Chain A
């Protein structure tokens, strides 16, 4: 069973957001993933991000593929419509949903098997089309539901729980997303909620293709010595380039950090992202530099996390297709049907 109802009562003193909702209003049913699964931490981060942004829960559409990660949309935003589609095909379903109604927030949840193997093509094409979405990959380097086979993001030379050594090169989804024109690219670690929650908030506010690769250790099959996706390994090799705060509204920003250590980035919609720089030389607006930075650190075995790239003026698919501002699914007969008079003219032109 992946459906377990959760009791609805809660402490009367739970904090409420601007809409009067508590955290509980953003939860889903009880997770059936393994105890300690990194994915549950990501679920918690999504709930926190939506709560803090005071998003109306039903204005989010959560869409996933197949796999452990793709099961998680059941565990958050219980008042949102969800769609657990087919393996590797979340991006196309999300693209279609987005075309139908541009007013909702589209949250795509996928895994490394779902996005880097069977769905690698769909991942790439949704990114290059600039679909306005939050695309989260819960990346554990392993197929969990089928018990521990390597996925395409497993590092070359890393060891499986059964002792096999992976001889295939790893696919770096962040590198691919950068290359294909994602306008918001981040990487985080499920064990670092403080870093992850603002990154998700920033991605939701971003009006373009936002991609977050979240390293999320699999406690059952990929948390051992020799794995490069274990809690210990990721903690030891984490190279965070910045810390993000997302500031909504028009409140003036007070910065009390050392000069040069903070960068304020205003997004197209007025949202401000406050970046506390951990690496003074890192510039999130330089895509080419970001790609070089990622590659040189990967060569050293370091996992770069934080906001990696941001385009402040993103384009999106609706803009490129020049669609009307009203959602397409709300257009009426009068909007859509040209009627009999137009048809008569067409008939006349065909004689």
Chain B
């Protein structure tokens, strides 16, 4: 069925289908960066298997002059470089879309579609003519298709060449061959194809001073700025790059200039149990410490997390969520550890959770988490997900106030103890539920105490008496109340018109929600929005729900975990919270949200049967 070719300037989705381990990732990222350098917002996503070499991988670049940064869904231009996934890739192209493929070997017409524009470039032939070494052939083929794309999409080729210069700083020998490969593809396309095609790029100034980075790297930088000195971790996708980034940042920012010694200690532990054990030991001893993990790691850490809650030891846990349960889909995104983290460990426990929406907030919350952990003397979870953590995002520049100081919380010093201050490790002196602590080694005769996971009285003396146990558990609840005003507040954005409907969302759903709201409004509906940024919930969460008849809760998990948490913690009638759930492992899209909410509003507006009959 013929369809007219899609025509669009600065608003389309390009998807690269590759084989992992073929060196395509850096060429594809180069494409995204070059678009960005043309002043056009992009949001790239790496869709990769849990594998090192040989399996299908995709890189999707959404180009949006209007600045929509969430996943869109659908593909306008497919760069199909993987025969394994050819059929599925061709099927996924939008009607009127484009297919770029390696035409060295002819393919039967049955392999194509009539309603798309097929663009063949003999990549292998061009490559083999120029290069003889197999590895060169493989790597430069990626640059050759980038060259062809630059012609087809009317890209500013100078930006790509500038990026080569930056990428190969210190290895300048590599620049000319890359420029040459780029030119090979570009020239072939200009000479043999109609350039540009219907979708194309035009220089813009919609990027501004925004930066482009991954959430894991930003969170790790937050840990550096937040004063973390001890990191213990165990490799697990998608969090390993957070620990790697911390190592990299520390090597650059935290090595003493004179002694060349490290102002940090990073231990790759034997498992997640040891990781959190090291973090708790260091936190107990007055260092700021963290681990980075994902859902399976959180499951393993449960016993220790309960210890840190009950014995009141600061710890920061970055959980880069991936699709569970069990090993689940290790390289796919979800927001599925909300309840596991909120109530981690046996017995009555509750934990502080932070929900950053993008890398900027990963940095901010990453630093803030250490103040919260010290102030509240408890584990603090920063819940990223694969979408935020492992993809580059265009976001606000990072800011730091130089007058800011670490808040080490209530710590009694040797001078305090000498002055005769009453020290009870679990004594609430001012009603906020937070007791004072001492670091080991503070004073020769005062302020020592025994830390344990067993019950104790206000002076840290072991007891199995009911009353002091209940007293302690009540104080922990008071402390959790105190936390409500210390954690990042929810952000509310009201619709221009009064409305009975609201929507609650959090974390990586943010960009899709920001875009969906325009679609929902265009359909004639109005929604007030509340973005939750932390647990425990601030009182404004309950009042937002009270102000609306229905509130949609948009999440990326099957069981509506945040909704359950709201129902449970704010005593809300579940009927008032409508779950909007996306959990297939791909990032949620504006199209999905707008459709799901629109459908629900439409059902609400169905005329009652009685009226129809009468």
Contact = CB atoms under 8 A, between A and B. Distances in A.
Contacts of A2: 462
A324 B211 contact: no
B295 to A, nearest CB: 21
Contact of B451 (A82, A338, A340): A82
Contact of B230 (A83, A94, A99, A337): A99
B34 to A, nearest CB: 13
Interface of A: 1-3, 56-59, 61, 63, 73-74, 78-86, 89, 91-101, 103-104, 121-122, 124-125, 129, 317-318, 321-325, 328-331, 333, 335-340, 342-343, 346-347, 350-351
> Lowest 10 A-B CB distances belong to which pairs?
A96-B281, A92-B277, A100-B287, A81-B440, A329-B286, A100-B285, A96-B278, A96-B282, A93-B281, A350-B211
B303 A86 contact: yes
B286 A101 contact: yes
6 contacts: A99-B287, A121-B270, A125-B270, A125-B274, A328-B230, A336-B406
B441 A95 contact: no
Contacts of A331: 227, 229, 263
B256 interface: yes
B453 A85 contact: yes
Given A96-B281, A104-B441, A122-B270, 4 more contacts: A3-B463, A84-B453, A96-B278, A104-B285
Given A83-B284, A85-B277, A99-B282, A339 B402 contact: yes
B489 interface: no
Contacts of B157: none
A212 B455 CA distance: 30
B224 interface: yes
Nearest to A87: B303
B269 A92 contact: yes
Interface of B: 209-213, 221, 224-225, 227, 229-230, 232, 253-254, 256, 259-267, 269-271, 273-287, 289, 303-304, 307, 397-402, 404-406, 438-445, 448-454, 461-464
A94 B281 contact: yes
Contacts of A63: 281
Chief secondary structure at chain B's binding surface = loop
Contacts of A335: 263
A336 to B, nearest CB: 4
Contacts of B273: 89, 92, 122
Contacts of A342: 253
Given A85-B307, A343-B400, A346-B398, A97 B262 contact: no
Contacts of A330: 286
Contact of A338 (B213, B225, B264, B274): B225
A63 to B, nearest CB: 7
Contacts of B398: 343, 346-347
B307 A86 contact: yes
Contacts of A318: 265
Nearest to A338: B253
B229 A74 contact: no
Contacts of B438: 81
A324 B280 contact: no
Contacts of A98: 281
A51 to B, nearest CB: 15
Contact of B448 (A1, A81, A121): A81
A92 B230 CA distance: 13
B302 to A, nearest CB: 10
Nearest to B446: A79
A3 B229 CA distance: 35
Contact of A96 (B262, B283, B399): B283
